[in-house]
């Protein structure tokens, strides 16, 4: 798609590559040289013609030119010259850099076996070829596997437990709902397009928006009702709402008899879980719970949009499952604009064998937990057993030195002398600073890729639009270079990224690249009956499961509740740690991406701890004063910000700021545990008990002594 622009460039179709369920359809202004080659980008806007994006994108991506043309972008391969983490490097050639990486991998493999190399990646780009191609090298070489737990594992477990399939009512149907419940998510900051469809419903139908979130986010501030639960108590709220539905005649018994597994057991189980019970756990008043339950009970077209936030606790999978039970008890899945939604990932039915090299996979190779990178690198026997240590890393699209839990362990791991680390990055992140070899990476406008959307239903293409700066290479090109040197054989290494994308589309039953490009995108939302589970849910018996088979989902299943419940497994506050800390996403950042762009930094200003004014008063802390937060893992110092709209005993630190932006260079994930959330792992970023003290008081009391 090419249209004229007013500022000289032409607009080309693309798609936002970032880890955000909105996966916005973009139009990017391309600046060209005399020969017509794309040399840079100008304005970035949302595609009006895409029915989900509807012309709206977030501010941080609208400013993308400042990221592509950032003066600090990495453009040359670097070799470490100073101590690990010092940031001292010298430039080397790309071929030499790849030679060194391959030699290090071969040398360590000879010493310890192939599992000693851990290709470590995540979702800095969501393009299927550039993100997931690393598995092809992994499988070809027998390198260690990665269990992806840093983001979606707890949601996956909770959703699949009841529904049995990753899909649901078309997210655009929110515009036709009378009640949208945003449960544990903050789309104003994290996926702005949800708000487009909510706004449509409010304008056209007078729809209500209810937000369940421990603090007054931008989304909560815009809501008709904000339920400021204590973190990690959503299961209790969900149970009480179902209790009221049974009590007040809003339960759809015919529906449950037809399409659920254990409605009678559920009703009996919920008898003791009413609003009084839930009030004591959630900290909401009985009146708030009754009001929400009544509104939900009487509204047919009620759409629950599950965010990720409330899953990031030790009981997160149980809580998510409990929430998905609501539309089943009340039969709301049947209605247009009704039901619940988390992710549409199953509707794409990708055949990723070419991208990931499935044919080469050896099931005997160990799989290491991504969120426990600190434990793995510091040799924790829980993770390694009797198998070899990890002595070499290839890292693409992720910044674990900042984003992973228990960051002190991560730091110690990266500092190990016997560890060889190659980081392929766009910027000198804190992870890249620990590397022995840093390789410069392309950005999405500089390489070809294929994208799916978790939060809607479009397959989209992101073609290469501009030439990369300096020597930047795409992930695929780096993998090709390493494969050649390591002797890894697979036809995927001999194809271009676009050829792989095209072949993957066709193998998955979709039209090829050119055909999709001609139509700009492909909307693959299944029809109403399938999306609303009219003929049945995803399990073999076609029923929604109130009593999940947790054992089929993950190894740590014995701790899971038999029926939806408040699972009291959280890091509860106690006398020594009276606050529950949530590290919710900052609006102008995307994880740590955009922490390098001036437009985002100047709006976020600095890391802050949001405290209830009464807590602040009790602590003797003023707005703008410094506070120290701590637990057994350590302490961090941040600026206090007084905030109404959250309960006392709750502290919010919006994230993910670089560690370097905190006093002493230790970031917020120092305090976050790397305990795996059951039943199949998952990082528990919003499940941390801490103490809070005035930061200056400690110094004063020392002085007084
Ligand atoms: N601006 C911005 N956008 C982003 C990101 C970002 O960092 N910044 N990150 C991207 C990524 S990787 C993801 S996965 C998505 C995540 O986007 P979301 O689905 O929005 O999930 P979270 O980021 O975990 O947190 C969302 C909200 O959950 C709330 N929350 C925390 N604990 C609880 C709880 O126990 N109960 C309830 N009810 N709510 C709770 C938090 O206060 C927060 O407001 O966003 C993506 N978009
Ligand atoms: N405290 C706290 N911690 C959190 C969270 C939280 O809510 N609170 N959220 C968690 C969640 S949900 C997630 S998903 C993780 C995400 O954590 P990460 O996956 O580490 O996400 P980013 O920080 O955005 O890092 C992505 C990196 O990929 C790089 N990158 C982008 N595109 C490419 C490319 O094409 N090639 C290469 N080689 N590199 C590229 C970017 O420059 C960036 O540095 O963080 C988690 N950490
Ligand atoms: S809302 Fe999400 S998908 Fe859309 S442009 Fe922003 S980060 Fe990208
Ligand atoms: Mo995420």
pLDDT at residue 597 is higher than 70: yes
* Spatial separation of the C-alpha atoms in residues 388 and 390, rounded to whole Å: 7
* 402-428: average pLDDT: 98
End-to-end CA distance of the chain: 71
Q: What is the mean pLDDT of the segment spanning 439-466?
A: 98
Q: Which backbone phi and psi does 251 adopt, to 5 degrees?
A: -75, 140
55 in Cβ contact with 45 (< 8 Å): yes
302 and 375 in a common domain: no
Higher pLDDT: 282 or 696? It is 282
Q: Is 153 in the pocket of ligand 3 (CB under 6 A)?
A: no
* Over residues 671-692, mean pLDDT: 98
DSSP 3-state percent helix, strand, coil across the chain (nearest 5):
40, 20, 45
Residues 550 and 558: their CA atoms lie apart, in Å, by 8
Identify which of 21, 369, 346 has the alpha carbon closest to the alpha carbon of residue 163: 346
Q: Tell me the pLDDT band of 703, cut-offs 50, 70 and 90.
A: very low
Helix (H) or strand (E) holding 355: helix 353-356
49 is a domain residue: no
- pLDDT above 90 (res 383): yes
CB-based contact 352:267 (threshold 8 Å): no
Asked, for residue 251, whether it belongs to a domain, the answer is yes
pLDDT band at 702, cuts 50/70/90?
very low
Evaluate if residue 290 carries a pLDDT over 60.
yes
Report d(CA 352, CA 503) in Å as an integer.
Answer: 10
Between CA 1 and CA 537 the distance in angstroms is: 39
Work out which ligand 1 atom sits closest to the CA atom of 151: 14
Q: pLDDT of 648-658, one tens digit each? A: 999 999 999 99
For residue 16, which atom of ligand 3 is closest to its CA? 8
- Based on the domain organization, do 310 and 437 belong to the same domain? no
Does some domain include residue 59? Answer: no
What are the residues whose beta carbon lies below 5 Å from ligand 4 (ion)? 151
- Residue 364 and residue 377 share a domain: yes
> CA 389 → CA 108, 393, 411, 423, 602, distances in Å?
10, 11, 16, 19, 42
Stretch (H or E) spanning 28? strand 25-32
Residue 4, pLDDT above cutoff 50:
no
With bands split at pLDDT 50, 70 and 90, how would you rate the model's confidence at 642? very high
Which ligand 2 atom is the nearest neighbour of the CA of 122?
19
Burial class (CB in 10 A: 0-12, 13-18, 19+), 704: exposed
**Distance of alpha carbon 647 from alpha carbon 638, whole angstroms:** 20
Tokens describing residue 410: 């991560």
Q: Is the pLDDT of residue 78 over 70?
A: yes
Domains contained in the chain, number: 3
309 shares a domain with 168:
yes
Look-up of token digits 């701790």: 559
Query: Do residue 588 and residue 672 come from a single domain?
Result: yes
Provide the CATH number for the domain around residue 254: 3.40.228.10
Give the pLDDT band of residue 704 (cuts 50, 70, 90).
Answer: very low
- Interval 201-232: pLDDT, tens: 999 999 999 999 999 999 999 999 999 999 99
Rounded CA separation 131/145 (Å): 15
CA distance 224 to 341: 20
Q: Is there a single domain that holds both residue 132 and residue 160?
A: no
What residues contact residue 581 under an 8 Å CB cut-off, 6+ apart? 231, 629, 650, 651, 652, 653, 671, 686, 688, 689, 690
Is residue 308 in contact with ligand 1, taking CB distance under 6 Å? yes
Average confidence (pLDDT) over 485-498: 98
User: Are 120 and 162 contained in the same domain?
Assistant: no
Domain shared by 188 and 306, yes or no: yes
Token pair of 92 as six digits = 């080397």
pLDDT of residue 536: 98
Please tell me whether residues 146 and 162 are part of one structural domain: no
The whole-number average pLDDT for the span 104-111 is 98
Q: Is the CB of 58 under 6 A from ligand 3?
A: yes
The answer to whether 117 touches 110, Cβ cutoff 8 Å, is no
Residue 46 Cα, ligand 3 centroid: separation in angstroms? Answer: 9
* Burial category of 644 from C-beta neighbours within 10 Å (exposed 0-12, middle 13-18, buried 19 and up): exposed
Rg (CA), the chain: 25
Angle formed by the axes of helices 234-247 and 316-329, to 10°?
20
Interatomic CA distance for residues 256 and 279, integer angstroms: 27
Atom in ligand 3 nearest the alpha carbon of residue 193: 1
- The CATH number of residue 624's host domain is 2.40.40.20
Residues 273 and 178 in one domain: yes
Model confidence band, residue 284 (pLDDT cutoffs 50, 70, 90): very high
Same domain, residue pair 308 and 189 = yes
Asked if the structure places residue 98 within a domain, the reply is: yes
Instruction: Round to whole Å and give the CA distance between 176 and 517.
Output: 30
CA of 58 to the centre of ligand 3 (A): 6
Same domain, yes or no: 135 and 159: no
pLDDT of residue 698: 46
Q: Measuring from atom 6 of ligand 3, which residue has the nearest CA? A: 58
Closest CA to 550 of 315, 342, 267: 315
Rounded distance between C-alpha atoms, residue 219 and residue 86, angstroms: 40
List strand residue ranges (DSSP E) for 410-544, in order.
420-425, 437-440, 449-451, 458-462, 521-523
Between 210 and 9, the higher pLDDT residue: 210
The closest of 639, 644, 656 to 694, measured between CA atoms, is 639
pLDDT at 705 over 90: no
Task: Answer whether 434's CB lies under 8 Å from 407's CB.
Answer: no
Q: What is the pLDDT of residue 5?
A: 43
Q: Is 184 in the pocket of ligand 1 (CB under 6 A)?
A: yes
CA 270, chain centre distance (Å): 32
Ligand 1 centre to CA of 190 (Å) is: 7
**Chain centre distance of CA 102:** 31
Is the distance from CB of 364 to CB of 347 less than 8 angstroms? no
Residue 273: give the domain boundaries: 154-342+531-552
40, part of any domain = no
The Cα–Cα gap between 487 and 112 comes to 18
Mutate to test the pocket of ligand 1, among 686, 687, 688, 689 (most ligand atoms within 8 A of CB): 686
User: Would you say the CB of residue 437 lies under 6 angstroms from ligand 3?
Assistant: no
C-alpha atoms less than 13 angstroms from C-alpha of 222 in its C-beta half-sphere: 19
Would residue 51 count as lying in a domain?
A: no
How far away, in angstroms, is 340 Cα from ligand 4 center? Answer: 20
pLDDT computed for residue 696 by the predictor: 73
User: Among all ligands shown, which has an atom nearest to the Cα of 570?
Assistant: 1
Instruction: Calculate mean pLDDT across residues 233-242.
Output: 99
**Which of 13, 14, 17, 18 maximizes ligand 3 atoms within 8 Å of its Cβ, making it the mutation to test the pocket?**
18
- In a domain, residue 91? The reply is yes
Interval between CA 185 and ligand 1 midpoint (Å): 5
Residue 77 near ligand 1, beta carbon < 6 Å: no
Judge whether 45 lies within some domain: no
Cα dihedral: 34, 37, 40, 46 (round 10): 120
Mean pLDDT of the chain: 97
Domain with residue 111: its CATH number is 3.40.50.740
Tell me: the pLDDT tens digits for 124-163?
Answer: 999 999 999 999 999 999 999 999 999 999 999 999 999 9
């Amino acid at each position: 798609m090419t249209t004229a622009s007013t500022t000289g460039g032409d607009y080309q179709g693309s798609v936002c590559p970032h880890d955000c369920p909105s996966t916005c359809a973009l139009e990017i202004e391309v600046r060209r040289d005399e020969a017509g080659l794309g040399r840079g980008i100008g304005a970035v806007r949302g595609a009006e013609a895409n029915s989900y994006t509807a012309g709206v994108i977030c501010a941080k991506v609208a400013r993308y030119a400042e990221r592509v043309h950032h003066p600090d972008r990495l453009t040359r391969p670097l070799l470490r010259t100073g101590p690990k983490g010092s940031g001292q490097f010298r430039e080397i050639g790309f071929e030499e850099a790849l030679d060194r990486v391959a030699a290090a991998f071969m040398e360590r493999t000879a010493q310890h076996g192939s599992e000693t190399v851990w290709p470590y990646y995540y979702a800095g780009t969501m393009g299927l070829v550039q993100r997931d191609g690393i598995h092809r090298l992994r499988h070809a070489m027998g390198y260690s596997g990665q269990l992806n737990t840093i983001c979606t594992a707890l949601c996956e477990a909770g959703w699949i437990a009841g529904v049995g399939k990753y899909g649901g009512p078309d997210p655009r149907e929110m515009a036709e709902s009378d009640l949208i419940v945003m449960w544990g998510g903050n789309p104003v900051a994290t996926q702005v397009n949800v708000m487009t469809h909510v706004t449509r419903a409010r304008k056209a139908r007078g729809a209500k928006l209810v937000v369940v979130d421990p603090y007054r986010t931008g989304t909560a501030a815009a809501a008709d009702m904000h339920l400021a639960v204590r973190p990690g108590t959503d299961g209790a709220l969900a149970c009480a709402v179902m209790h009221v539905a049974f009590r007040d005649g809003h339960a759809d018994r015919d529906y449950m008899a037809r399409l659920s597994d254990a409605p009678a057991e559920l009703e009996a189980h919920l008898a003791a879980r009413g609003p009084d019970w839930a009030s004591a756990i959630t900290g909401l008043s009985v009146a708030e719970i009754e009001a929400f339950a009544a509104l939900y009970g009487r509204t047919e077209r009620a759409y629950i949009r599950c965010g990720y936030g409330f899953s990031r606790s030790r009981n997160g999978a149980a809580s998510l499952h409990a929430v998905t039970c609501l539309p089943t008890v009340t039969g709301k899945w049947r209605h247009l604009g009704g039901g619940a939604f988390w992710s549409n990932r199953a509707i794409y039915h990708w055949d990723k064998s070419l991208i990931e090299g499935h044919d080469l996979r050896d099931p005997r190779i160990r799989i290491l937990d991504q969120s426990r990178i600190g434990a793995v690198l510091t040799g924790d026997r829980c993770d390694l057993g009797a198998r070899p240590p990890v002595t070499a890393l290839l890292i693409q699209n992720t910044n674990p030195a900042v984003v992973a839990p228990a960051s002190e362990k991560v730091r110690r791991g990266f500092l190990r002398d016997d560890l060889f680390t190659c980081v392929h990055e766009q910027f000198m992140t804190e992870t890249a600073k620990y590397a022995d070899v840093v390789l410069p990476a392309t950005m999405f406008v500089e390489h070809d890729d294929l994208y799916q959307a978790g939060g809607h239903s479009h397959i989209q293409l992101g073609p290469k639009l501009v030439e990369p700066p300096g020597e930047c290479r795409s992930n695929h090109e780096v993998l090709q270079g390493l494969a050649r040197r390591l002797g890894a054989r697979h036809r995927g290494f001999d194809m271009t990224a676009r050829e792989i994308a095209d072949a993957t589309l066709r193998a998955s039953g979709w039209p090829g690249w050119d055909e999709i490009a001609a139509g700009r995108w492909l909307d693959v939302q299944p029809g109403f009956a399938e999306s609303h589970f009219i003929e049945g849910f995803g399990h073999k018996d076609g029923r929604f499961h109130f009593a999940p088979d947790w054992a089929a989902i993950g190894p740590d299943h014995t701790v899971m509740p038999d029926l939806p419940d408040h699972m009291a497994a959280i890091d509860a506050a106690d006398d020594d740690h009276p606050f529950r800390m949530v590290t919710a996403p900052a609006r102008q950042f995307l994880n740590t991406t955009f922490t390098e762009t001036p437009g985002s930094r100047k709006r976020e200003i600095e890391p802050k701890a949001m405290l209830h004014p009464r807590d602040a008063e009790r602590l003797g802390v003023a707005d703008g004063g410094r506070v120290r937060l701590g637990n057994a893992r350590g302490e961090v110092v941040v600026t206090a910000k007084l905030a109404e709209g959250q309960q006392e005993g709750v502290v919010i630190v919006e994230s993910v700021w670089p560690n370097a932006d905190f006093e002493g260079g230790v970031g917020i994930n120092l305090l976050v545990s790397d305990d795996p959330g059951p039943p199949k792992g998952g990082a528990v970023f919003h499940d941390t008990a801490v103490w809070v003290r005035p930061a200056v008081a400690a110094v004063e009391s020392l002085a007084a002594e």
